[in-house]
């Protein structure tokens, strides 16, 4: 119970913190170009959130499996003994376990699980957009190097021996790629901020709510069974 109570407190704090992300949009009109480090960090974040989702699902599954096994064992052993006295009430241990099992069956873990999964998709979309921006950046750099090479050649030979049209076309290509890259940077930044603004609060709100409900369910079970310590 202490674990779920602590989870609720920490997720509540995290939820309050991520709300502040909303204020980042208007702080700067221009964003920095995505680097390989940015891309790597996004991949690591996607991997971490995926691991978080798997751990959360396993935790809920293992708790349910444990109480189901314990409930089954008590049912087979205690009930069989009590059957010798048809008027006897179920043992306190079995009643407690039965309430615990019902409480675990009722907690809405799917909502929290889907919220984490949704955020994985959010981060994946950001990663794909960053990859797209980096491809455009590389094309811009390649075109710029080609233009620089042709400009250098033009300086070393007579203009009449050089096909000036190819250089004009190259220069236009560089300009086009630079415009595309600039737009890609803006799109990546806007989409990243927007996705984080909508994705992060949803995750922590769902987990804050779930951990609160889980804690309340366990407290209710303990209270009803007179087992609060």
Task: Mark residue 226 as left, alpha or beta (left: phi above 0; alpha: psi -120 to 50; beta: remaining).
Answer: left
Please list the alpha-helical segments (H only) found in 83-163.
Answer: 92-106, 109-156
Residue 28 domain-assigned (yes or no): no
Identify the pLDDT of residue 229.
Answer: 45
Residue 27 domain-assigned (yes or no): no
Identify the pLDDT of residue 227.
Answer: 45
Residue 187 domain-assigned (yes or no): yes
Per residue in 185-226, pLDDT tens? 888 887 787 777 778 888 888 898 888 888 888 888 887 765
Extract the residue ranges of the chain whose pLDDT is less than 50.
158, 162, 227-229
Identify the pLDDT of residue 31.
Answer: 60
Residue 211 domain-assigned (yes or no): yes
Total-model pTM: 0.72
Inter-CA distances, 180 with 69, 87, 136, 172, 192, Å: 60, 81, 7, 12, 18
Other residues' Cβ atoms within 10 Å of the Cβ of residue 226:
8
Q: How many domains does the chain contain in total?
A: 1
Q: Which residues have a Cβ under 8 Å from the Cβ of 34 and sit 6 or more positions away?
A: 130, 133, 134, 137, 185, 188
Range of the domain at 16: 2-22+34-224
Residue 48 domain-assigned (yes or no): yes
Do residues 135 and 151 touch, judged by C-beta distance below 8 A?
no
State the CATH number of the domain containing residue 97.
1.20.1270.60
Identify the pLDDT of residue 48.
Answer: 94
Identify the pLDDT of residue 160.
Answer: 52
Please list the alpha-helical segments (H only) found in the chain.
Answer: 2-18, 36-82, 92-106, 109-156, 164-224
CA nearest neighbour of 188 among 117, 138, 128: 128
């Amino acid at each position: 119970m202490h674990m779920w109570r602590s989870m609720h407190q920490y997720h509540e704090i995290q939820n309050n913190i991520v709300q502040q992300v909303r204020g980042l949009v208007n702080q700067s009109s221009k964003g920095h170009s995505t680097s390989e480090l940015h891309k790597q960090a996004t991949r690591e974040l996607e991997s971490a959130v995926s691991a978080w989702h798997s751990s959360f699902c396993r935790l809920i599954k293992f708790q349910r499996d444990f109480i189901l096994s314990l409930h089954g064992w008590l049912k087979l052993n205690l009930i069989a003994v009590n059957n010798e006295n048809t008027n006897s009430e179920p043992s306190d241990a079995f009643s407690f376990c039965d309430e615990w099992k019902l409480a675990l069956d009722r907690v809405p873990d799917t909502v929290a699980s889907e919220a984490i999964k949704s955020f994985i998709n959010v981060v994946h979309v950001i990663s794909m957009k960053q990859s797209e921006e980096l491809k455009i950046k590389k094309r811009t750099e390649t075109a710029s190097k080609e233009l620089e090479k042709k400009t250098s050649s033009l300086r070393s030979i007579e203009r009449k021996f050089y096909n000036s049209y190819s250089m004009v076309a190259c220069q236009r290509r560089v300009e086009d790629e630079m415009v595309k890259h600039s737009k890609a940077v803006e799109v990546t930044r806007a989409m990243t901020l927007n996705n984080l603004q909508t994705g992060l609060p949803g995750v922590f709100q769902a987990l804050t709510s779930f951990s609160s409900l889980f804690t309340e369910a366990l407290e209710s079970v303990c209270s009803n069974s007179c087992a609060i310590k």
